[in-house]
Amino acid sequence: MTRFIYTIEGLSIWTGRAFGWCILILTFSVSYEVFVRYVLNAPTVWVFDMMVQMYGALFLMAGPYALASDTHVRGDVLYRLFPVRWQARLDFVLYLLFFFPGMMALFWYGAEIASDSWRWKEVSWNSPARIQIYFFKTLIPVAGFLLMLQGTAELMRCWRAMKTGVWMERLDDVKETEDMLAREAERSERSGS
């Protein structure tokens, strides 16, 4: 079970890292557009559409990454006070009742949207460049599938926590600066006392 969970989590983290490069593309494209628009007085017709697609791709594919990294927003005012077994039970039920139906809808209807877009060779209607967008719309069901896959790993993680009373460690990845500083402070307190 542990290997399966970590395999799915690894896939989600890898996908998030890969699509994280969209930020670099976005940065360069915005900088390029600002330069040619305001310095050369020669705005492009394609950069805006490309930026929208890059941001959309980043947003869609960051979902599984955020779920695997346990960085989704959670209203944990009361949740954090519960014992681990009750946290796991609550998460398990909420995944089944809300998460999976939503992700199945994203996958199902996203597949229909992508299929129609490919059939019509859909292009952007809000730009004179008429950029093709059916490639981008394919990411909708892909994101839904990856979210359901990661959700399955989260259910298994909950199941294990219900049995053992301990949450499984997550795969190491980029950490928030405040988390790293808190761990450093704990280590220095332990070594100093």
Boundaries of domain holding 130 = 2-66+76-192
pLDDT reported for residue 131: 82
> With bands split at pLDDT 50, 70 and 90, how would you rate the model's confidence at 82?
very high
Share of the chain above pLDDT 70, in %: 96
Winning range, highest mean pLDDT, from 12-16, 58-62, 102-106, 124-128: 102-106
In Å, how far are 13, 118, 135, 182 from 179, measured between CA atoms? 19, 44, 38, 5
pLDDT reported for residue 176: 64
Question: Does residue 192 carry a pLDDT above 80?
Answer: no
* 13 CB neighbour count, 10 Å cutoff: 21
Residue 71 inside a domain? The answer is: no
Question: Does residue 143 carry a pLDDT above 80?
Answer: yes
pLDDT reported for residue 61: 93
Span of 3-17, 83-97, 118-132 with lowest mean pLDDT: 118-132
Residue 127 inside a domain? The answer is: yes
pLDDT reported for residue 72: 79
pLDDT digits (tens, 9 = 90+) for 15-37: 999 999 989 989 999 999 999 99
**Is the distance from CB of 144 to CB of 67 less than 8 angstroms?**
no
Average pLDDT, the chain: 89
Residue 32 inside a domain? The answer is: yes
Domains in the chain, number: 1
pLDDT reported for residue 175: 62
Share of the chain above pLDDT 90, in %: 61
